[in-house]
Amino acid sequence: WGGGAASMAAPRASSPHSRRLRAESGEVAAERDVVLSAVTCNGLALEFAAVELQSDREVVLAAVRQNWRALAFAAEDLTADREVALCAVGQDWHALQFLPQALRGDREVVNQALRQDWQSFAHAPTELKADRAAVLEAVRQDWRALAFAEPELKADREIVLATVKQSGYALLHAAPSLRADREVVLEAMKQDWSALEFAALELRSDRKVIMTAVQQHGRALDYASAELRADRQIVSVAIAQDWRALEYAAPELKADHEIVLQAVQQDAFALLHAAQALRTDRKFVLAAVRLNKCVLQIAAQDFLGDRAFVLEAANLNGYALQYAAPGLKADREIVLAAVHCNGDALQYAAQEFKADREIVMAAVQQHGGALQYASQEVKADRHIVLASVAQIRNSLGSSGGQGNERRGGAERVHPECSI
Q: What is the pLDDT of residues 191-231, one digit of tens each?
A: 999 999 999 999 999 999 999 999 999 999 999 999 999 99
Query: Out of 46-55, 227-236, 243-252, which region has the weakest mean confidence (pLDDT)?
Result: 46-55
CB 412 within 8 A of CB 403: yes
Model confidence pLDDT, tens digit, residues 193-203: 999 999 999 99
Mean of all residue pLDDT scores within the chain: 86
Strand pairing partners for 411? 406
Model confidence pLDDT, tens digit, residues 58-90: 999 999 999 999 999 999 899 889 999 999 988
Which secondary structure element, helix H or strand E, spans residue 411, and what is its range?
Answer: strand 410-411
CB 143 within 8 A of CB 166: yes
**pLDDT at position 6:** 56
Mean pLDDT in residue range 284-288: 90
Reply yes or no on whether the pLDDT at 411 is more than 90: no
The DSSP code sequence of 369-393 is GGGGGS-HHHHT-HHHHHHHHHHHH
Reply yes or no on whether the pLDDT at 23 is more than 70: no
Residues 6+ apart with CB under 8 A from 104: 96, 97, 110, 123, 124, 125, 128
**pLDDT at position 177:** 96
**pLDDT at position 336:** 96
Model confidence pLDDT, tens digit, residues 122-181: 888 888 899 898 898 888 888 999 999 999 999 999 999 999 999 999 999 999 999 999
What radius of gyration do the chain's Cα atoms show?
A: 37
* pTM exceeds 0.85 for this model: no
Reply yes or no on whether the pLDDT at 352 is more than 50: yes
Residues 6+ apart with CB under 8 A from 151: 175
